[in-house]
């Protein structure tokens, strides 16, 4: 930024922020963002491409547009009227009022779905932000980007180029040259295909100043001369004068005082006359380049003298204006106070009558509300008593049901044991034929399955009455899992299911475990997976060593669980209500028992499932490591027969279809 323009804009910004109608600027307004400029590196090849495009376009004759306001809207809707007000306030440099008007236009555009008005309003908001902060703030970027998207949606090439140029200018003044080139290049490519001389002039000037800031004064001079030809063709005298100013500073940088003097004369001859301070400051720069120290000092002193006089005159005019405004305002306030006093007296009487009526109404409403509240409390008390009575009855029924199941289970357990004994003895005799042995095995398997179910009911009853305790024993985890998986391997093979063990800890990892309870949990999870995994599917038991915990996963590729059933799979006696679910299925005890056993062991059990893709049951248990030498054999502490009773044997026939999974 060069001295005359820099001083003028800084002084304007300072006065605007201090004296803009006494309005406090909110923290989220356009005027609260003042970043530090940090120049970023850029791609020289991209710079050269844009330079070549601009040279190619500059060689073409300038076609002056017939309608300079081709992109304007001719409607008289409130939104477009607000946008016209915005442009007026921007011309007056009244940015607070411009911001108010453009926000109104934007709101009306979005409520009426006028995309063109919305695009124009967003562009003006971005322009206001860049003007207030001299382009260094990047707060305008989101508005220009949104306007750019709408321009592309409407296929408005002219507006698209303008927004690309605005973004390039914003990033360029903020020192983000990499982002500047990202927007400048597509703008240049669009200008190759469409005659937009004003936009071409703007891009040429921007890119020329960019080259000047990056130590390429010769290339910058060439582009600025090219932009000046377009400005002359368009009759834009202000831009011509501005370009002569830029050339003036280029020649100063090149230490060419003669050319600088010529361009300064051109600046004075074209456009608005220069202020005395700007003129003397320019003479100072020229004499400084020539090496005339005394002349340069003389012009510098003259420049500062005129600056001081200008500030003094401006301050005197401002103070006189404020004094006149203050006196006028004092008279207005006196008249306003008299009017307000009379109005307040009338309002006081009206308020008094209204207050009496309001208090009376409030008392009536309060009495009615008290009566209604009393009636509601009485009804609520009766309802609570009924709910408590029903709750007590439900608890009693639940206890009766639990006692009934427990008593029935006790009654069934003894005859089932007596049935299993003779069946086992008969199978151990070698004199029976193959068909009889197969029938006896089927009877033993079904009786054992029924005994397991009876044991689950008794275990659940014990857990709920807090009569079950942990019986931990040192156990080599890998040996325990292999032993546990043996019966399931056979059932998986008969059902054409791939059952795998993914064991990740050390083979000798030894933990203090309640084998019976862990076996019941895993048996339930694996039998459930076998039940709902079709032939050709896969079941994987994954074992991981966490931080002081044992992490188990049972993954299957079965039918999965419906999302409505997922929160209830561990509820006691729960059955799926989804269409297509199996009417015969589990009893709803197995997973409920597994959750209770997990809680007893201070662990966590949960499930994740995707219908049609399978389910994953996660089991986390505390892991207390012990000496591997202290581990008991699996049969020594429990006995083979007792360990076998715990196992839940899956049904022999694996379903080929994929039923809707429910709680087992």
- As given in the structure block, the two tokens for residue 181 are 């080139």
Banded pLDDT at 115 (limits 50, 70, 90): very high
Q: Compute and round to an integer the Cα radius of gyration of the chain.
A: 45
- Under a CB-based contact definition with an 8 Å cutoff, are residues 615 and 553 in contact? no
Cα–Cα dist 245/435, whole Å = 112
Q: What is the DSSP letter of 652?
A: S
pLDDT, averaged across the chain: 79
CB hemisphere CA count around 356 (13 angstroms): 5
| 556 SS3 class | strand
As separate numbers, helices (DSSP H) first and strands (DSSP E) second, the chain gives: 20, 7
pLDDT for 145 beyond 50: yes
State the sign of the Cα–Cα–Cα–Cα dihedral 609, 615, 620, 621: positive
**Is 3.40.50.300 the CATH number for 473-646?**
no
Q: Which stretch, 193-197, 303-307, 498-502, 584-588, has highest mean pLDDT?
A: 498-502
Strand partners, 121: none
Confidence (pLDDT) at 65: 66
pLDDT(410) > 70? no
Side by side, the strands of the sheet bearing 538-546 are 498-503, 538-546, 549-556, 614-622, 604-610
Residues above pLDDT 90, as percent of the chain: 21
Measured CA to CA, the distance from residue 531 to residue 41 in angstroms comes to 65
- The first and second tokens of residue 626, run together, are 């012990």
User: Distances in Å between the alpha carbon of 89 and those of 22, 80, 102, 272?
Assistant: 17, 14, 10, 22
Q: How far apart are CA 246 and CA 220, in angstroms?
A: 9
Instruction: Write out the DSSP string of 315-333.
Output: HHHHHHHHHHHHHHHHHHH
Q: Give the model's pLDDT for residue 464.
A: 63
165-210 tens-digit pLDDT: 999 998 988 888 999 999 999 999 999 888 889 898 899 998 988 8
What is the distance, to the nearest Å, from the Cα of residue 211 to the centroid of all Cα atoms in its chain? 39
Helix axes 217-234, 44-58, angle to 10 degrees: 30
Helix, strand, coil content of the chain in percent (nearest 5): 65, 10, 25
Q: Is the pLDDT of residue 366 over 60?
A: yes
Tokens of 392: 């007590």
Dihedrals phi, psi of 618, to nearest 5 degrees: -105, 130
3-state DSSP assignment of residue 628:
helix
pLDDT at 433 over 50: yes
Residues 160, 162, 167, CA angle at the centre, nearest 5°? Answer: 95
Chain center to CA of 494:
50
pLDDT of 251 > 60? The answer is yes
Q: pLDDT-derived band of residue 409, with 50, 70 and 90 as boundaries?
A: low
pLDDT higher than threshold 80 for residue 326: no
508-566 residue pLDDT tens: 899 989 888 898 899 889 988 888 899 999 999 999 998 889 999 999 998 888 888 88
HEC letters along 87-132: HHHHHCCCHHHHHHHHHHHHHHHHHHCCHHHHHHHHHHHHHHHHHH
Average pLDDT over residues 347-374: 88
């Amino acid at each position: 930024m060069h001295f005359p323009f820099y001083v003028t804009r800084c002084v304007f910004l300072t006065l605007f922020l201090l004296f803009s109608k006494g309005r406090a600027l909110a923290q989220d307004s356009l005027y609260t963002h003042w970043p530090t400029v940090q120049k970023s590196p850029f791609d020289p090849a991209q710079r050269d491409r844009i330079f070549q495009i601009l040279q190619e376009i500059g060689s073409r004759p300038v076609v002056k547009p017939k309608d300079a306001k081709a992109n304007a809207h001719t409607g008289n809707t409130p939104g477009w009227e607000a946008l016209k007000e915005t442009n007026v306030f921007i011309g007056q440099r009244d940015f607070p009022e411009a911001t108010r008007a453009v926000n109104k236009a934007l709101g009306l555009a979005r409520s009426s779905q006028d995309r063109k008005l919305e695009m124009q309003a967003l562009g003006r908001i971005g322009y206001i932000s860049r003007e207030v902060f001299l382009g260094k703030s990047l707060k305008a970027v989101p508005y220009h980007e949104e306007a750019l998207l709408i321009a592309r949606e409407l296929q408005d090439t002219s507006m698209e180029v303008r927004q690309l140029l605005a973004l390039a200018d914003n990033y360029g003044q903020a020192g983000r040259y990499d982002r500047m080139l990202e927007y400048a290049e597509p703008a240049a490519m669009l200008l190759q295909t469409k005659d937009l001389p004003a936009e071409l002039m703007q891009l040429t000037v921007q890119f020329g100043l960019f080259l000047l800031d990056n130590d390429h004064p010769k290339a910058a001079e060439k582009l600025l001369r090219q932009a000046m030809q377009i400005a002359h063709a368009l009759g834009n005298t202000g831009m011509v004068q501005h370009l002569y100013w830029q050339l003036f500073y280029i020649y100063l940088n090149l230490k060419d005082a003669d050319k600088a003097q010529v361009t300064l004369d051109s600046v004075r001859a074209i456009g608005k006359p220069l202020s005395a301070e700007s003129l003397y400051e320019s003479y100072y720069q020229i004499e400084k380049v020539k090496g005339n120290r005394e002349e340069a000092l003389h012009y510098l002193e003259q420049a500062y003298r005129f600056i001081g006089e200008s500030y003094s005159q401006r301050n005197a005019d401002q103070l006189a204006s404020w004094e006149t405004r203050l006196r006028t305002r004092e008279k207005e306030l006196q008249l306003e106070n008299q009017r307000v006093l009379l109005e307040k007296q009338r309002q006081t009487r009206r308020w008094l009558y209204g207050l009496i009526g309001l208090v009376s109404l409030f008392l009536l409403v309060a009495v009615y509300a008290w009566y209604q509240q009393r009636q509601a409390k009485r009804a609520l008390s009766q309802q609570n008593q009924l709910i408590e009575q029903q709750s007590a009855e439900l608890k009693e029924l639940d206890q009766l049901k639990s006692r009934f199941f427990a008593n029935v289970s006790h009654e069934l357990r003894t005859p089932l044991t007596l049935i299993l004994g003779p069946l086992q003895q008969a199978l151990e005799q070698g004199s029976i034929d193959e068909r009889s042995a197969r029938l006896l095995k089927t009877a033993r398997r079904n009786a054992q399955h029924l005994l397991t179910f009876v044991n689950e009911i008794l275990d659940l009853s014990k857990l709920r009455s807090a009569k079950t305790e942990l019986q931990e024993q040192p156990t080599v985890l890998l040996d325990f899992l292999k032993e546990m998986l043996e019966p399931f391997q056979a059932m998986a093979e008969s059902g054409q299911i791939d059952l795998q063990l993914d064991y990740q800890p050390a083979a000798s990892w030894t933990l203090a475990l309640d084998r019976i309870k862990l076996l019941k949990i895993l048996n339930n999870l694996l039998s459930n997976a076998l039940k709902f995994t079709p032939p050709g599917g896969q079941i994987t038991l994954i074992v991981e060593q966490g931080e002081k915990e044992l992490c188990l996963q049972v993954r299957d590729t079965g039918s999965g669980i419906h999302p409505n059933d997922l929160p209830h799979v561990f509820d006691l006696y729960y059955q799926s209500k989804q269409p297509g679910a199996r009417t015969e299925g589990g009893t709803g005890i197995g997973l409920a028992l597994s959750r209770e056993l997990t809680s007893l062991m201070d662990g966590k059990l949960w499930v994740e499932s995707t219908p049609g893709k399978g389910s994953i049951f996660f089991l986390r248990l505390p892991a207390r490591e012990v000496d591997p030498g202290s581990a008991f054999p699996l049969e020594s502490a429990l006995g083979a027969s007792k360990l076998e009773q715990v196992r839940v044997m899956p049904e022999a026939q694996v379903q080929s279809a994929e039923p809707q999974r429910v709680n087992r």
